[in-house]
Amino acid sequence: MTIEIIPARLRCEYLDNPLGIDCREPRLSWIGLAAHPEQRGARQTAYHILVASDEATLARDQGDLWDSGKVHSRQSQHIPYAGRPLSSGQACWWKVRIWDAQGNVSAFSEAAHWEIGLLEPSDWQGQWIGMANQVAKHEAHGLQPSPYLRTTITCEKSVSRARLYITARGLYEAHLNGQRVGNACLAPGWTEYTKRVQYQTYDVTGQVHQGENALGAILGTGWYCGHVGFGLNGKQNYHHYGTTPRLLLQLVVTYTDGSRQAFVTDETWKGTTGPILYSDFLAGEAYDARLELGHWDQADYNEGGEQAWQPVSAWEQDAIPLVAQPDQPIRATQTLHPQGIEEVSPGVYVYDMGQNMVGWVQLRVRGEAGQRVQLRFAEMRSPDGTIYTENLRSARQTDSYILKGSGDEIFEPRFTFHGFRYIEVTGYTGIPDLSALRGCVVHSDTPLSGTFECSDPMVNQLQKNITWGQRGNFLSIPTDCPQRDERLGWMGDAQIFIRTACYNMDVSAFFSKWMQDVVDAQAENGAFGEVSPRLLVQNDASPAWGNAGIIVPWTLYQMYGDRRVLERHYTAMARWVHYVREANPDLLWVHKTGNNYGDWLSIDAETPKDVLATAYFAYDALLMEQVAEALERHTDAEQYRTLYQEISEAFCRAYVTDDGRIKGETQTCYLLALRMGLLPQALRPLAASHLVEDIEKKGWHLSTGFVGVGYLCPVLTEAGYNDVAYRLLLNDTFPSWGYSIKHGATTIWERWDGWTEERGFQDVGMNSFNHYSLGSVGQWLYEYVAGISVDPQEPGFQHILIRPNPNPRLTYAQAEFDSPLGKIVSHWQQHEDIFILQVTIPANSSALVYVPREKGQAIFEGGSAATAAEGVSFVRDEEHSTVFDVVSGSYTFEVKKQK
């Protein structure tokens, strides 16, 4: 017999071969691939994991750290390491083999590995260092020069392995022997710095050698002490956590004789300032190439040279824990080339990247020493073609480069990022052409995991805009916007968008990391924040914002099967619900409502705040019941169930009439009540019809804000108004997604009316053109149009629902999604006389497939009656579809329409 399933894509804690993790029982995952693509029903029945302390041992099929033995299980995700205790720096090599349903065993997979970081505070032997006095002396308006720090070290023996553990309060870029270390940007990333600071681990074996080596770093201010958030009304929006940046690192070298030596930051290091006059998130970077420090990061450098290097300031370590970064670093992931260039006035050039993007540009220029080129960044242009910067508020988003006059010069900033489509270039000698600039796209490097496409070009542009919005705003944390003086981790935005985000990219590690920030921002009284980390906006959270603390872990559990995230944060989640409940004994959420944003930025449709809040309170209870069940806390589950029922009843008594009208009568009122299941069965169709009446009254337009928009199309489809959902999707008159696209949007706007034909730009006080919230319709495209979703009873796509909802306005729609178990495909197309649905279900999973058909239409699969097809079993007929149970594999269902 030949094997049916083989293991692939080995991951540890969601990452490929992570270095320096600080989890003592990391979870191991793989996917099973069907050995033969045409095969159906491939599944795993057992696994065997080996973990060894080095590659050679593993190659001999020995697991000196852990040999799981043969374990009868279909589980391939999140299997906790259960071998010998792991200590700091331990390398772990692993592989797995699996058994299929026939009892055949696969070969062992390729080897994968992970490595433990520095687990104990005492592992860190160095001191924090910086150039406090020197940089503070030069600071103006919160902008300070970047310190360059260096030392030389001597490795006495030949090197077999070297690891650099490094972090900063601020940002760092590490250098070793003339080379930059790694390709992470804006490291160590943002956390609630008062509670934890992340570090990174780099394999620098190839960069360190026997003899003298130079070790150094450049520091930036970043979230720690640079500008972040509002600078409105002269408010100081820098020095949030400290005043000058600091570095802490430890280079651990293992010699070929097995001995080890650690080199650390301490008061023997030297520092100076150099060409980076400042590099700040909001202000941008100013760089004077004439002040470059030559080969400062090499061993033979003369510290007494042009720029005097001075002793650093040093500080002992404190009690704030250092933690390994658990998610993908921020990286420059792609390069965009400008699409156009225009001289808008003499010497003022405006470049168009063709895409509203986040990151920076690389400038190529030639000229004389001392000449200054300035780059200003903007999302939009004014009618006269000049860049429109009013919506940036106090963020200057300006880079400047002073030439050293040495032929071709290339400038790329280090510790800033901008949100922009247009770049204004001034001070360029000669006439710049398109090759003078290239755009570097920068974001947390979450791998793409999904695609959606259909026959309507506008919808395809919408999908692109949603993905670009996600890309640009996922920078260490989910931010609201990347351009103006804000860029904060708004909770409401994140919760409404997370499901869409999960389809587009693998955000498992990213959101697991952020959930810790959310809990770190939780107050003593149990309240989550409006933003996490809790910066500038200090008050406790609003309805629909604080609820992110429940919705985010719940979604991670659903989408990735991550039970540990629920376990870890269960107490925090329960404390939040308790906080709301204590303050609202009547079960209508009217007290402790924070800034009470309501259905933020809706269009002439003010949803009563208490209605929205109470619906979310009920939703908390509903989700907590399911969380408690998942964790087998049955008594808690029972209590949350009761709470949910009681809130629903209170909601109905207070806000719902006998004919299903809801106080406020906005679209969002109905959406919330329907989505959160608050109405008695009999009132649901009535409420849905009131919802549709309102849409019709508005000329078939939506009026929802940040909150309601996420439920709009899903609720309509579920309630039997799929056609109305499509109508809203395909609309291009105001307000609609299509309206912004018709006017050239390449990202999702913060406001439906960010720009309108009648009034032009909205209020400059708050008008971002790159905000993902209104893009939460992406969930509906994947789950309802293409029809891929997880069976809530079997999280992590162990069981899949394929339930497309076609509409005559599209001839095809197709989604692919790299689920935790492998690729899922749903692709439908319809022609005059036939509807075809192609489905792929990954090995080790199974699905219920809802094939749309009208009464009397026959369904075929692979040419014969579907009921007779291999791997397919008939479940039931519904009014508009037939439901089949299918095992893993690829299927083509055809429904022939009667003429």
Active site residues: 486, 750
Q: Shortest Cβ distance from residue 240 to ligand RAM (Å)?
A: 17
User: Which residues, in sequence order, are bridge partners of residue 376?
Assistant: 398, 424
Give the residue carrying structure tokens 């699905």. Answer: 847
> In the set 222, 245, 492, 796, which binds ligand RAM (CB under 6 A)?
492
Residue length, the chain? 899
The Cα-based distances of 154 to 253, 262, 391 in angstroms read: 11, 11, 52
Q: Shortest Cβ distance from residue 493 to ligand RAM (Å)?
A: 5
CA distance 511 to 493: 13
Stretch that binds ligand RAM, among 56-64, 484-492, 671-679, 816-824 (CB under 6 A): 484-492
| Closest to 230 (Cα-Cα) out of 474, 536, 473 | 536
CA distance 201 to 254: 15
Name the residue nearer to ligand RAM (CB basis): 765 or 792. 765
Buried b (16+ CB within 10 A) or exposed e, 20-33: bbbbeebbbbbbbb
| Residue numbers 837-876 binding ligand RAM by CB under 6 A | none
- Residue 320: exposed, middle, or buried by beta-carbon count in 10 A (0-12, 13-18, 19+)? middle
| Residue numbers 122-141 binding ligand RAM by CB under 6 A | none
Task: Tell me phi and psi for residue 479, to 5 degrees.
Answer: -100, 165
Name the residue nearer to ligand RAM (CB basis): 425 or 531. 531
Name the residue nearer to ligand RAM (CB basis): 494 or 800. 494
Assess contact for 392 and 769: CB atoms under 8 A: no
Stretch that binds ligand RAM, among 217-225, 488-496, 624-632, 752-760 (CB under 6 A): 488-496
Pattern 444-483, ligand RAM, x by CB under 6 A: ------------------------------------x---
Stretch that binds ligand RAM, among 258-266, 466-474, 486-494, 812-820 (CB under 6 A): 486-494
Name the residue nearer to ligand RAM (CB basis): 52 or 488. 488
Beta carbons within 8 Å of 301's beta carbon, 6+ residues apart: 150, 214, 294, 295
Q: Is position 599 an interface residue for ligand RAM (rule: CB under 6 A)?
A: no
Name the residue nearer to ligand RAM (CB basis): 501 or 821. 501
User: 3-class SS at 889?
Assistant: strand
Assess contact for 150 and 214: CB atoms under 8 A: yes
Count residues near ligand RAM (CB under 6 A): 9
| Residue numbers 802-841 binding ligand RAM by CB under 6 A | none
| Closest to 794 (Cα-Cα) out of 644, 626, 635, 639 | 626
Q: Is position 327 an interface residue for ligand RAM (rule: CB under 6 A)?
A: no
| Residue numbers 25-54 binding ligand RAM by CB under 6 A | none
Q: Shortest Cβ distance from residue 96 to ligand RAM (Å)?
A: 43
> In the set 93, 241, 422, 597, which binds ligand RAM (CB under 6 A)?
597
> In the set 600, 655, 769, 893, which binds ligand RAM (CB under 6 A)?
600
Name the residue nearer to ligand RAM (CB basis): 285 or 750. 750
The Cα-based distances of 352 to 34, 379, 422 in angstroms read: 46, 10, 5
CA distance 785 to 206: 50
Stretch that binds ligand RAM, among 335-343, 489-497, 554-562, 676-684 (CB under 6 A): 489-497
Name the residue nearer to ligand RAM (CB basis): 297 or 750. 750
Name the residue nearer to ligand RAM (CB basis): 574 or 707. 707
Name the residue nearer to ligand RAM (CB basis): 172 or 706. 706
Amino acid type, 495: Q
Q: Shortest Cβ distance from residue 709 to ligand RAM (Å)?
A: 13
CA distance 541 to 526: 10
The verdict on whether omega for the bond into residue 735 sits within 30 degrees of 0, i.e. cis, is yes
First CA to last CA across the chain, in angstroms? 47
Element at 255 (helix H, strand E): strand 246-255
Q: Is position 493 an interface residue for ligand RAM (rule: CB under 6 A)?
A: yes
Amino acid type, 116: I
CA distance 398 to 42: 56
- Residue 870: exposed, middle, or buried by beta-carbon count in 10 A (0-12, 13-18, 19+)? middle
Copy the structure tokens of residue 156.
Answer: 């006495």
> In the set 288, 750, 818, 861, which binds ligand RAM (CB under 6 A)?
750
Q: List strand residue ranges (DSSP E) for 156-196, in order.
A: 159-169, 171-176, 179-180
> In the set 108, 490, 721, 780, which binds ligand RAM (CB under 6 A)?
490
Binding site for ligand RAM (CB under 6 A): 480, 486, 490, 492-493, 597, 600, 750, 771
